[in-house]
Amino acid sequence: MAFHLAKRMDAFSPSIFSELKAYKLKKQEEGKKIIDLSLGSPDLPPAPFIREKLATLAAEPDQYGYTLSGTPSFYQAVANYYRRAYGVELDPATEIVHAMGSQEGLVHLPLVFADPGDMILVTDPGYPAYEAGLAVAGAEPYYMPLVKENNFLPDLTAIPEDIASKARMMILNYPGNPVPGLATEQFFHEVITFAKKYDIVVLHDAAYSEFYFDDQAPLSFLAVPGAKDVGMEINSLSKSFSLAGARIAYIAGNKKMVQTVAQLKSNLDYGVFAPIQAAGIAALDHAEEIGQAVRTTYQKRRDVLVAELQKIGWTVDKPSGGMFIWAKIPDGWTSKEFCFTCIDKAGVVMVPGPAFGSNGEGYVRIALVHSEDILKEAAEKLQSVIQNSKLS
């Protein structure tokens, strides 16, 4: 049967992640041992009391109705967390809306604030879901380069006046994915001034807010004076609390913006499963202890992998936040060639930088999603590739 495909599907071609997965499975079928450092899926389980809360409530027969939205208790837990963590006051009734994971929120948000053909400012490199959201809304991207020389912060002064005047949104992400940079208060002040000048909605993706190292706690965008005038922050319980499969997140900030997002969502879904929201409340209420345990684990992993890569001759920058290493590859390769050679010769899977934008060429993203011993093994397996840095 012949059928018509919408033109918008041109924007949703198979991703490099699908290609990497297929190649990984092929190599495993051939008997090759694979260490997968590509996907940022937490390998740590949720805290036992979170799992117990979810399991207990899931066994109750009255928990299976529609929630329609975030529960008042979940919104209050988010507000309490922001007060404790950042000194930010949020009205749980009007300034918070839940989402089915940050991916869902990120993809749907441009529908609220951009018409087809409108401009949205996004970082390059940047998380692929931003592109998906633009494609769904029919919006056009303007790429703000993230380069090491500027501490991986976009240069707002480099955005042409005609682009700024047409822009409807700006999407930022600190600590970032794939680039694990940290935003400064001065930078966020510049963003707020820029957004007010051009009437641009700012969305700060804070999915890695609990992933910071060396006691360099990241700044919430909402903690900067004026932020709630121009935008929102989206945060997920997937990474920080190991609830990736449970799919729960929230968007907080400007009351009118949040309520408009809630209006859209009321037409898209019937809310997150109540026991999952209860598990999220338990996580947020114990964020400090959970976050410290996560940071300790990932900081050790970061330190081990950076040191082991240094031993084999691959010098990479040590990230201050996030769950990834953004590594400059040896000379003589493209990012994709390097990644597939590492699978062939070392059995180690990483993501080529251009998967996140053209400015990712020359880099790979390495996820810290295995134990220290496995990360050491991965570095050892990569030694032959690094020491033969020219294409064979």
| List of residues 6+ apart from 391 with CB closer than 8 A | 332, 333, 337
Q: Which tens digit of pLDDT belongs to each residue from 153-200? A: 999 999 999 999 999 999 999 999 999 889 999 999 999 999 999 999
Per-residue confidence (pLDDT) for residue 154, from 0 to 100? 97
Topology of domain 48-287, CATH: Aspartate Aminotransferase; domain 2 (3.40.640)
Q: Is residue 207 within 8 Å of 239, Cβ to Cβ?
A: yes
* pLDDT score, position 308: 97
Domain chopping of the chain, boundaries: 10-45+289-382, 48-287
User: Which pLDDT value is given to residue 41?
Assistant: 87
Burial of 61 (0-12, 13-18, 19+ CB in 10 A): exposed
10-15: long-range pairs with CB below 8 Å, 24+: 11/131, 11/132, 11/135, 12/132, 12/135, 15/128, 15/355
| pLDDT at res. 12 | 85
Q: At the topology level of CATH, where does 10-45+289-382 sit?
A: Aspartate Aminotransferase, domain 1 (3.90.1150)
| Residues of the chain scoring pLDDT < 70 | 390-392
Predicted pLDDT of residue 94 = 98
Q: What is the pLDDT of residue 188?
A: 98
